[in-house]
């Protein structure tokens, strides 16, 4: 995976193969701050239960997290939207901000390996 350059001209790493192992490796390289939560979630939802049923939901959640975290500008924008929504006093404004955040997350889920 490519390393990040200065934020203004950051190289966004491509999405990994759509497997837990490849996604974990990508997180370790490009978003290591998320790795402890990823590992805890994997242990609690999959490893400790010996149940593979939750793997698709687990992958969807962490696919989105990585797709956003690998792009510092997008990550900052999403956090700004969520923060502004939390502080909004107008329900219409808060709803619009959260709908935009939701759109970003849905778009991230559609990212394909190699993109």
Taking only the tens place, the pLDDT of each residue in 5-54 is 445 567 999 999 999 999 999 999 999 999 999 999 999 999 999 999 99
Asked whether 34 and 65 are in contact (CB, 8 A), the reply is yes
Please tell me the pTM assigned to this model: 0.87
pLDDT confidence of residue 8: 55
- Spatial contact of 5 and 11, defined as CB atoms under 8 Å apart: yes
């Amino acid at each position: 995976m490519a390393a990040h350059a200065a934020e203004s001209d950051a190289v966004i790493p491509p999405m990994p193969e759509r497997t837990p192992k490849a996604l974990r490796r990508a997180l370790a390289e490009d978003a290591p701050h998320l790795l402890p939560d990823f590992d805890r979630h994997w242990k609690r939802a999959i490893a400790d239960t010996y149940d593979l049923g939750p793997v698709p939901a687990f992958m969807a959640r962490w696919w989105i997290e990585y797709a956003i975290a690998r792009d510092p500008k997008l990550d900052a924008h999403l956090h700004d939207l969520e923060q502004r929504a939390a502080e909004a006093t107008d329900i219409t404004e808060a709803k619009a901000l959260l709908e935009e955040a939701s759109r970003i997350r849905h778009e991230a889920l559609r990212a394909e390996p190699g993109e």
